[in-house]
């Protein structure tokens, strides 16, 4: 099946107040190896450009990790109409269950409900997703565009958060990928500000591997199709491209075919914070926003599943 392409240029969907939090502990590659938190060799990760990652202190739970970030978004929103939460790892979707308990519904203690309960926002509807891996930014945008059609909803808080699953390493050998503990979020609303969402595209495959040359080809084609649907002139000199902290050579080829100059090719913090899953996109938008109104942004993500996603935004 071909890619799913959503023309959102007439939806008046805006992304504002992007914020993030990283694990408070910075660990270098050698230290990660000594702690047996790597499956790859230090040298293979260093060749990619990684130098360290960010991890939460041992024993940190999802509520503790994300509550400050969530409260920040609540204070910035014009009344919370709904909450959307995305995770890359299924283990983060629910609260930890007492190993001694065999109670069935104890397994249905969902993280968003606990977060809202702690904030005393029990009346807020919420949704969650995790099967789109590290393309969560685009999944959140697609879901938010539908939820905002409800007359009572003025804004949606969108949150993505992940802590490394217990007993797992921070890296993936085949993908030459190093990750961090990270959470981030933004407000999706009809109120003008931040970034206007012009379009979202996603390609999914149940294959175990997609060749990088195919990732490049599809990313370039999807960008062109989204620009055409939204009546945007595709001009690499006028578009800032945001890439995740992985597959460095593949994204260079994407920029090459889109004729994007080096100054518009953005890979943010790869050495210092590694790959922050779906938060890579939001951290990048937080850093560069508010500087050039009218500038176009193309945001790219690739996630387990497998998924390739692109979002085209216009800076307000």
pLDDT tens, position by position, 212-257: 999 999 999 999 999 999 999 888 889 999 999 999 999 999 999 9
**Residues in the chain, pLDDT under 50:** none
| 168: CB partners within 8 A, 6+ apart | none
The position carrying tokens 């050039």 is 292
CA distance 199 to 6: 5
Do 80 and 116 touch, CB atoms closer than 8 A?
A: no
Sign of CA dihedral 278, 283, 286, 291: negative
Helices (H), the chain: 29-34, 42-48, 62-76, 111-118, 136-147, 212-229, 248-257, 270-273, 279-288
* The pLDDT value given to residue 73: 97
pLDDT value of position 94 = 86
| pTM assigned to the model | 0.94
**What's the pLDDT score for residue 287?**
95
Mapping DSSP to helix (H, G, I), strand (E, B) and coil, where does residue 87 land?
coil
Q: Which domains does the chain have, with CATH numbers?
A: 4-13+194-315 (3.40.47.10), 15-97+108-189 (3.40.47.10)
pLDDT for the residue 259: 96
Measured distance CA(282)–CA(297) in Å, rounded = 12
**Rounded-to-integer distance, Cα 172 and Cα 23, Å:** 19
Whole-number Cα distances in Å, 123 to 113, 116, 120, 149, 251: 10, 8, 9, 19, 42
* Sign of the alpha-carbon torsion through 59, 62, 65, 68: negative
Cα–Cα distance, 169 to 57 (Å, whole number): 15
What local confidence, expressed as pLDDT, does residue 109 receive? 77
Q: Quote the tokens at residue 94.
A: 């629910």
Distance between CA 82 and CA 155 in Å, rounded?
7
CA 244 to CA 88: how far, in whole Å? 14
* Amino acid 1: pLDDT: 57
Within the chain, strands assigned E span 4-7, 14-22, 25-28, 52-55, 82-86, 126-129, 155-162, 171-172, 177-178, 182-189, 195-204, 239-243, 265-267, 296-303, 307-315
Tokens representing 261? 């100059």
pLDDT of residue 99: 67
Distances (CA, A) of 276 to 17, 36, 181, 236: 18, 20, 7, 26
**Which pLDDT does position 21 carry in this prediction?**
98
């Amino acid at each position: 099946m071909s890619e799913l392409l959503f023309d959102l240029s007439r939806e008046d969907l805006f992304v504002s107040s992007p914020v993030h939090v990283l694990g408070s502990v910075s660990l270098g590659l050698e230290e990660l190896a000594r702690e047996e938190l790597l499956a790859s060799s230090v040298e293979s990760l260093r060749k990619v450009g990684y130098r360290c990652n960010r991890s939460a202190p041992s024993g940190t739970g999802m509520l503790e990790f994300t509550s400050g970030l969530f409260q920040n978004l609540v204070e910035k929103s014009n009344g919370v109409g709904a909450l959307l939460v995305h995770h890359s790892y299924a283990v983060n979707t629910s609260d930890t269950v007492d190993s001694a308990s065999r109670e069935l519904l104890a397994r249905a203690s969902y993280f968003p409900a606990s977060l809202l309960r702690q904030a005393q926002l029990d009346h807020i509807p919420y949704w969650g997703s995790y099967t789109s891996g590290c393309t969560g930014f685009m999944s959140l945008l697609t879901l938010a565009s539908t939820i905002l059609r409800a007359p009572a909803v003025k804004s949606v808080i969108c949150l993505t958060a992940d802590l490394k699953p217990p007993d797992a390493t921070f890296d993936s050998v085949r993908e030459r990928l190093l990750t961090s503990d990270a959470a981030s979020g933004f407000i999706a609303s009809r109120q003008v500000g931040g970034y206007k969402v012009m379009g979202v595209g996603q390609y999914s495959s149940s294959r175990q591997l997609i060749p990088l040359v195919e990732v490049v080809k599809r990313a370039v084609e999807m960008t062109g199709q989204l620009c055409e649907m939204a009546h945007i002139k595709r001009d690499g000199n006028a578009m800032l491209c945001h890439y995740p902290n992985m597959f460095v050579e593949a994204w260079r080829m994407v920029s090459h075919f889109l004729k994007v100059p080096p100054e518009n090719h953005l890979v943010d913090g790869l050495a210092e914070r590694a790959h922050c899953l779906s938060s890579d996109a939001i951290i990048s938008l937080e850093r560069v926003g508010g500087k050039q109104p009218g500038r176009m942004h193309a945001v790219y993500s690739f996630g387990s599943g497998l998924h390739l996603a692109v979002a085209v935004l216009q800076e307000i």
